[in-house]
Amino acid sequence: MAFATPKEELISDPKVETQEQSHSPLLEVLIWPFSKVFQPLLNVAIYPLSAPLRYAFEHRVIDKGINFFSFGESKNIFAYPTFNLKPGTTTQIGGTYRHRRVFFPEDYLVVNASLYANSDIRTNIRYSKGRFLNTRFLFGLKFGVHANRDDSFIIPMTYESFVQTDTSMYVEARLSRVIPGLQKWSFGLFLDQSYHNSDIPDTQDSVLIEHPSYSVYDRGVYQDFFTNKVKAQIQYDNLDFPFIPTKGTRIIWSYSHFFISDYKNLAFEVPEKSKKNHNFSIFEFVFQHYFMLGTSKRYQLNTQEIRDLRKKFVDFTWDESIRLWNPEKVMGMLFNRKVIAVQYRLKHMLEAEKGGAPHMAFPVLNSRFPLRGYSSSLAAPSIMGLSLEYRWPVDRYVDGVFFNEYAIFTDHLDHWKKSSLRQSWGLGVRIRSPSMFFFRTSVGFHGLHGVEVVITIAPEFY
């Protein structure tokens, strides 16, 4: 990984564009709600953060932190702590290690490990190599272990959930290549094997023995089993940057088939048993599009712009906030060098035999879908979602994000109900460089009824 130096930034953006634009009366009417309401409200929302931002910018905390945690002559090694201070057992501390060019010019290693408040652990190791065996194939290998005594399963199409302990291990290999003659298109093949060791939790009142529409025995609840997955994927990608895309489109079609072993080691007798086929398939379609507003040639801030912006934050007061959003300035600030990101996603699970797929087969509506105002609270055979993001640069490595998301679920792909529509919105911050994504944090609101805090090293759309 190599960071752009201030000199490189100035060369790539020699001057700041300050030419004012004139808009037609119709456009003025259309953007009036955004310039007079939306962006000022965003400013008010981040006002409580002005004190820590002032300190961070005055003392260059982010820049110094990135330099402090990066190693190697070309800054190709990066090691930093991770944490999540949510209440309860989800509190965790850990660390991430990233290393480009470990053994070869085009390889990349990522190691992430976390320890939770109740002694649960999660570790993931990823390694990728370009030009595998001197070909144009990209090879990837992943391995992970997750010991979670507070894991849960959700009865599809309901909000009923029950706790079960689960120790999972997985290994995945992938091979992908650009399609000859179609430089923006690529195909990939993924092979995955995982092992689920599930058991009855300590909290006995959370144990499910019998349910009118959900068979504990057939769904693999409190049982052990192996999963073998074969996945084929076709992808189109013409994004300008991997982690701060400002324009372009990404489209993904994928089909996965899961071969499930027999379930074993159920600790109690269930009223009825059956022998069903546990295999299942998942179809997924993802469409992402990014476009940048305004006339600026680039999204990244150059050195002079960073200094000017930091000075505004250092001198930030309520009076300054009111002055900053006067009508003459707000249109340029709202529509220049801002990115709109859109994602549509459809995920559908198909059982080989109805009622036989394991509990982990169902797509889950949660912050990873993404629907950032929800935790893992709902599962369904089919889920469809639409995400809209408004991004703006805050500093050299920092983006602000406002998002609004919708999702709808169903048990029949051809029958969607308005009553199953869910929505969330919120604000967040992304920490990234052009060549690497570090982490993001956001606060998502489930309508006006709940709040979900998300802190993760995974990008929003992946």
Instruction: Give residue 342's pLDDT.
Output: 95
Model confidence at 337, pLDDT cuts 50, 70, 90, reads: confident
- Quick check: is 456 in a domain? no
Please tell me the least confidently modeled range out of 98-112, 357-371, 440-454: 440-454
What is the count of structural domains for the chain? 1
For residue 226, give the CATH number of its domain.
2.40.160
> What's the Cα-to-Cα distance from 364 to each of 193, 198, 245, 255, 330, rounded to whole Å?
21, 19, 27, 17, 40
- Quick check: is 297 in a domain? yes
Sign of the dihedral defined by the CA atoms of residues 295, 298, 301, 304, in that order: negative
Instruction: Give residue 17's pLDDT.
Output: 42
- Quick check: is 65 in a domain? yes
pLDDT tens track for 355-394: 999 999 999 988 888 888 888 778 999 999 999 999 888 7
320 vs 264 pLDDT, higher one: 264
pTM: 0.79
- Quick check: is 321 in a domain? yes
| Average pLDDT of the residues in 227-239 | 96
pLDDT tens track for 264-278: 998 888 777 778 999
Q: State the virtual CA torsion across 349, 353, 354, 355 in degrees, nearest 10.
A: -100
| Average pLDDT of the residues in 175-187 | 92
- Quick check: is 246 in a domain? yes
The whole domain housing 217 covers: 6-12+20-363
440 vs 203 pLDDT, higher one: 440
Q: What per-residue string of b and e applies to 379-404 under the rule 16 or more CB within 10 Å gives b?
A: bbbbbbbebebbbbbbbbbbbbbbbe
CB 176 within 8 A of CB 186: yes
- Quick check: is 421 in a domain? no
CB 458 within 8 A of CB 368: yes
Partners of residue 187 on adjacent β-strands? 177, 234
- Quick check: is 325 in a domain? yes
- Quick check: is 402 in a domain? no
Is the pLDDT reported for residue 10 higher than 50?
no
Q: State the virtual CA torsion across 20, 23, 25, 26 in degrees, nearest 10.
A: -140
